[in-house]
A and B are shown apart, each in its own frame.
Chain A
Amino acid sequence: MISVLVLFLCFGEIAYGTPIPAADWQYGAELRSADAIVLDDRTRFFEKTIARYRKVRVLSERGKAAVEFVDLTGTARKLEGRVVDIHGEQTAFGQRSDLVEILTYKAGGDTEKVRLLVPPGLTRNCIVELAWEIPAEGAIPLGRDEYFQAVAEPWHVRSKSFSFSALRNHPGWSLGKLRLVSQPFWTSANDRHFRLERSGGRQTVTYLDLPGRAAFPFGNDWRYDGRHYVQVVKTFPDFGLRTRDFWKDVCRNYVRPYLFDFEFKPSPEYRAWVEQLKAERAGDSVGAMGQLLRAFRARLASTRMPRWDQRLGSTESEVDPAKRIVAAFQRGYGDSFELNQLFYHLALDVGQPFVLVFPSSTEQWPFEPESRQPFYFNYNYPLFGVKQGDALVLFTPERYAYSPGHVPARFEGLEAMVVDPRAGWQPSFTVLSASGAASNRIVTQYQTELQADFGYSLSLERSATGAYAAAYRQAYYGLPPAERDEALAASWRDLGVFALTEASVAGVDDLDAVITEKIGLRVEKRPLVVSSYAFHPFPNSVRPLVSPHSWPPGRDQDLFLDFARQHTDINTIVVPEGWRLSGVNDWHRANAVGQVEVQAVQEGRRVTVRRELTLSRHRFGRAEERQLKAFLAWVDEAFEQTIAFALPQASP
């Protein structure tokens, strides 16, 4: 207890002139390859300030990054610190020139700056102490909605602690009649790496001996073992104490009245449209939802993805959400918020069964109901779900690139909160399913005629579905048809010297159609002086995955790929008389991650080459890393593979 008290008394002050304790210099002898060690990092939250102290051992030139260019935010104040090198020489800092203030952005009346620390006197073997504070309200930095700090760093952490006092209500934060307070949240672990202490009205969490974070390919910054973070967030103090009651109150008393069920006064045109849609409803719930979404998109354009001939104006004339959606309907276009709200009311008015799905994403920390963070979800942008047996078919009204039944893969396979607006807004929690490989397909059919002088003509037709269709639609939708064709042609022109005879894109404007690309070209090729002729059967094919450069050992997390997929390439090649396919071209490899198959068959002058690549899932366990690497090696091999022809006589 005494030592803790002394620690707090010294907190925020650098003891200039006193030597660094020997234990600090001796710590981490076994971490010989470490570039830096965070010996001590303490954050103390008060009502009006957040104070931070760091002590870092630098062990190499690279390790200086642990204390250099530290972003202290633009509001940082009372910076002080010192560098003590291994020989005891001390350099104090805190001068204006040591702290560089840089404008992040300035727009309208908003200005944001950062302050970067560039400590003087760093050596490749030193200890740096620094302390600073930032102004806060309710322990949340001024101007922010929450405080967030990831505990692990690229460097080994000996000790990192966070200390909170009891926090008060903040009247200024109220949402209508709902009171808000700030609330700390931390991830915990019941092992030697974690400690929770309460003393003198404060509670302190301490994380100990955390290994340095490596950047893993296909990793996720939010989801891995030992991913600890500390937050101070705003929450509703008057909502239910039990987790289930809390979320029920969030949905019924906040989300419903404040974000969805506001008074909507539709126009007669809207009423007539609803009646028309009701009359046209057909099929099961899923089919009817798809039909409704198509009708909705046909009537309303999106400012997020306008078609080339839709010249849309501003949507900011109204603040009141009810008036905004009325205005959006009248003008025939809206932004994402307006489109979602309008679709929500439309689905209710038409009698379409659906649930609202508030998803978490791979770009966010995992959702944990027990954390009781009411603002975890972005309620303005829900997915819409329709039950089909036990499954939930998902729709995203405002993302026009996604056909009915497809949603961005960053939501797939993750936690979500589901609410049925027709059943009392009672929330439930689920894990969304992920689309399979067959949902995201690219099929390319090539036709080639090879000539005896090694020139050739080639045509191809490529079609895409699912996530690929969304990507193509995003790229092409805003361009007039001629420019789409030109964009496709340009993507081929960079490949080499040939004459394009056709470049056309189809299926873009129909938001539900399969997108196809067609290419025709002719190559006047200079012959090589070899006894056989090698030919790449699938020029400019779409690579399913690019192999990362580096795979650090000791992976501690799952592998997140964006989506499962299937690529099929088929080339039907007509060769000159007497040409014979050389050697062995067929192979097939498969594992739990995926499979690769290449086949080449000759019948007379016709050679058919087929390449099939399947990535079976979009998420893999860490133990499957080796299998993914094997799969990537096969993909590389299949993409480089040429076929060769033995010629009837030596080439010219």
Chain B
Amino acid sequence: MRALLLCLLALLACSSRAEELPSWAEEALRAAEPFQVPKGAAVWTLLDRTRITREQDGSWLRSRQVVHRVLQQRGGASAASFTLDGAPDSSRIESLRGWHRRADGGVQSLDHKQVTTFGELGSGPLHLRTRTVAGFEQVGRGDILVFESLEREANYFSVTVAAVLGDNPVHVRRFELVQQAQDQIVIQPVSFEPWGLKAIRKPGVLEILDVPARANEALSPDDFLAFPYVILGYRGGDGDPMASWDAMARWYAAKFRACAETRGGLSAAEFPESLSLAAKSLADKISYRQVYLTSARGWEPLAGAEVERRAYGDCKDMVAYLAYRLDKLGLDLNPALTHINSGYDPSPEEPVQPNAFNHVIAAIPLAHSLGFAAEVERDGRRWLLHDPTDRYTPLGQLGLQLRGRTLMICDDAGAHWVTLPDSAVQSIRLDLHLRGRIDADHGLEGTLQLAEHGDAIGLRTLLGEGSLNDLLARLREQLALPGVVDLEPKLPNLDSQGVLTLECAVVWPSFLRRNAGGLKLPAAVTGGGYIKLETMEARQQPVWIPATTPTRWRLELDLPFPLKAIEDRWQWQDALSQLSWQAQPGRTFICDFSHERRRLHFGPNDRLAGLEAWYDYVDKYARFLINATCFF
């Protein structure tokens, strides 16, 4: 409440009106004058300056100064607003000021009525983070927008990370850290070289000139850590988790134990039964919910007993609950940090920073192998890896989200880095068998049988969550099945191997579609329709090609007329993908088709190779579609 009051007073303080821009903004305008305006940009940020001072109590004062020039009318709305993200327990806006100089020369200063703070309320994580937006209206071409803010922050770690590329090109991007007597400051640019960024370094200052805007391109990396960024902050003393990966691992092992209220230093497991019981208890009782009422909850789990009371928790809470259960049995558990849900993968070679990980799983020390697939060995020790968040994957195996991922197992000795072998992760596949009769209007009536291996598209999880409707919706989404297709399911079955089978009656209007003077099979079966890319020369970003689910189709169709394609067989196999098509033409059309594309990343220096690989794939697919899946 006190923080909110202070924040309000600070915002009220900014209601004075001014007739001219502050001198630092005028200076930035003058400095940019000799330079050419970036081509095609709607807004040019002339200055984006961040200055950080560490206070006696360890908190940071972060000041920011921004100057935008609106080059095109369409850029007015984005230049007009300035955003500050915060949280009530870890940040406070000390002041926020803004000026809008219109093209005709009139200057308006920011009024407190033009400032709004929103909570982030959605269906996902529940947290108290806020977003404060200051904005001017009626901003247009030729206008200058200036913002200045001062925030006080209580950072969880001694360093933080700032992305460099944004929506607008930036003439001068400047980071400054004020050095007090005992401080050891950190300003570390990462991945600048492949992007050709020009940086000037001085003591306590990193200035980057002519930063390009981040282009809107297909197949671009889905994580900001794949782009240039800067690590900023102050080295802590002994025990600073950011000193090294080993230091971070030691710190987290101790922090986790303290929060989860477990003892540590216990025995390695010798028998599978107790582990199975603990994992089953967790899967039965604890649901995944992310409720963060403090910023520290991003790293700190709840005590195991509290997780049990709540019967919910996030990934680290679930691992804490498992640790709590095993602790009662005298068994040890180490937290293992990793990164999921994006293409980024952490590495011990990268500089230490707090955004490398976004997920925690359990590494259970083993006295010897218990025969589980998800066992790993490192530094002379053996662990069983288990991801409690993935509650429908049985103990001993890991789910798709961890395929090929790198983990940092944390214990008192330091970091144990492990890259998961494919054998530790459940193999995935989707088998589909479509049988039926095509009528004169090209509609299909028949049955679709599917077998999902390894929760390939998440059907097993959705079945566990109790909703057949959600399961069908996921199936439609994954197959890009037209909504007009009616699916009438029978009850699904899950066998002891975790294979889910389901049979649906299918009514599929316009199953065969007129195309190229003939007919074609639907894209839901054959795939295709791939993204076309911009011209190769202009490509800015690395090329990250996502994987597809390995899928096998068998079609058995009775037709009122025979189907015959140009080719009955088609296949290829290369580093990116494999495809096999084998058809038996006629009035009873039978076909076996399989396709799989693997994940491939091409870095900033391999952009052209990435584009070539994608073009080659799209081209091959187009040839396959016209030659094998169209009937004349």
A121-B309, A629-B509 as given contacts; A61 in contact with B464, CB under 8 Å: yes
Residues of A with C-beta under 8 A to B126 = 69, 100, 102, 116, 118
Per-position 1/0 for A36-65, Cβ under 8 A of B:
000000000000000000000001111110
Q: Mark B291-305, 1 if CB is under 8 A from A, else 0.
A: 101000000000000
Most buried by B among A105, A529, A632: A105
- Residues B106-133 near A (CB distance < 8 A): 112-113, 115-121, 123, 126, 128, 130
By beta carbon, the residue of chain B nearest A546 is B483
Let me know if B514 and A529 touch, CB within 8 A.
no
A480 to B630, CA, bound (A): 46
* Chain A interfacial positions (CB closer than 8 Å to B): 33, 35, 59-64, 68-69, 91, 97, 100, 102-108, 111, 113-114, 116, 118, 120-124, 217, 306, 308, 311-314, 478-480, 483, 486-487, 493-497, 526, 528-532, 534, 547-552, 581-585, 587, 598, 629-630, 632-634, 636-637, 640-644
Q: Is B467 in contact with A550, judged by CB distance below 8 angstroms? A: no
Chain B 491-520 residues near chain A, CB threshold 8 A: 509-510, 513-518
* Contact between chains at B117 and A528 (CB < 8 Å): no
A532 to B566 CA separation, bound complex (whole angstroms) = 10
**What B residues does A526 contact at CB under 8 A?**
619
Known: A62-B470, A479-B74, A636-B510. A120 touches B312 (CB 8 A): yes
Kindly list 11 other residue pairs between chains A and B, CB separation below 8 angstroms, not including A35-B466, A312-B138, A483-B72: A35-B467, A113-B119, A124-B466, A487-B74, A494-B534, A497-B534, A528-B623, A549-B476, A582-B517, A583-B517, A629-B483
Partner of A308, one of B73, B467, B516: B73
A497 touches B535 (CB 8 A): yes
B623 close to A529 (CB less than 8 A): yes
The residue from A102, A121, A494, A583 contacting B121, defined by CB atoms under 8 A apart:
A102
CA distance A120 to B630 in the complex (A): 56
A555 vs chain B, min Cβ distance (A): 13
Give complex CA distance A417, B330 in Å: 76
* Residue ID in chain B nearest A495 by CB atoms: B532
Closest to B631 in A: A583
Q: Do B138 and A583 touch (CB < 8 A)?
A: no
From B74, B113, B116, B514, A587 is in contact (CB under 8 Å) with B514
Name which residue of chain B comes closest to A628, CB basis.
B484
Residues of B contacting A: mostly: mixed
Tell which of A33, A548, A598 touches B483, judged by Cβ atoms closer than 8 Å.
A548
Q: Provided the pairs A61-B465, A104-B121, A585-B514 are in contact, do residues A306 and B116 lie with their beta carbons within 8 angstroms?
A: no
B73 lies within 8 A of A583 (CB): no
CA distance A248 to B533 in the complex (A): 63
Determine the chain B residues whose CB is within 8 A of the CB of A582 once the complex forms.
Answer: 516-518, 632
Chain A residues with CB under 8 Å of B482's CB are 547, 632-633, 636
A528-B626, A551-B484, A634-B510 are contacts. A104–B118 as well, Cβ < 8 Å? yes
In contact, B465 and A483 (Cβ under 8 angstroms): no
Across the interface, name the chain B residue whose C-beta is closest to A113. Answer: B119
Interface range for B? 35 or more
Given contacts A100-B291, A529-B623, contact A632 B483 (CB under 8 A): yes
21 contacts between A and B (CB under 8 A): A60-B467, A103-B128, A105-B116, A105-B118, A106-B8, A120-B312, A122-B311, A217-B483, A312-B138, A480-B73, A493-B534, A550-B476, A582-B516, A584-B514, A587-B514, A630-B484, A632-B484, A633-B510, A636-B510, A636-B513, A643-B517
Alpha-carbon distance A551/B102, docked complex (angstroms): 51
* B517 x A547 contact (CB < 8 A): no
Partner among B8, B516, B622 whose Cβ is within 8 Å of the Cβ of A644:
B516
Is the Cβ of B128 less than 8 Å from the Cβ of A497? no
Instruction: Give B contacts to A, CB under 8 Å.
Output: 4, 8, 72-74, 102, 104, 112-113, 115-121, 123, 126, 128, 130, 137-138, 140-141, 285, 287, 289, 291, 293, 309-312, 464-470, 472-473, 476-477, 482-484, 486, 509-510, 513-518, 523, 532-535, 566, 619, 622-623, 626-627, 630, 632
Give the complex CA separation of A534 and B515 in angstroms. 9
Query: Among the interface residues A103, A105, A314, which one has the most CB atoms of the partner chain B within 10 A?
Result: A103
For A217, what are the chain B residues with a Cβ–Cβ distance below 8 Å?
483
Q: Chain A contacts of B476 at CB under 8 A?
A: 549-550
Q: How far is the CB of A596 from chain B (nearest CB, A)?
A: 10
- Which residue of the partner chain B has the closest CB to A96? B293
Point out which of A68, A97, A105, A633 has the most chain B C-beta atoms below 10 A from its C-beta: A633
User: How near does chain B come to A89, taking the closest CB pair, in angstroms?
Assistant: 11
Contacts of B115 in A (CB 8 A): 107
CA distance A497 to B510 in the complex (A): 31
Asked if residues A583 and B477 are in contact (CB atoms below 8 Å), the reply is no
Indicate which residue in B123, B312, B514 contacts A641 across the interface (CB closer than 8 Å): B514
Interface centre among B4, B619, B623, B630 (most CB of A within 10 A): B630
A69-B126, A640-B513 are known contacts. Are A550 and B74 too (CB-CB below 8 A)? no
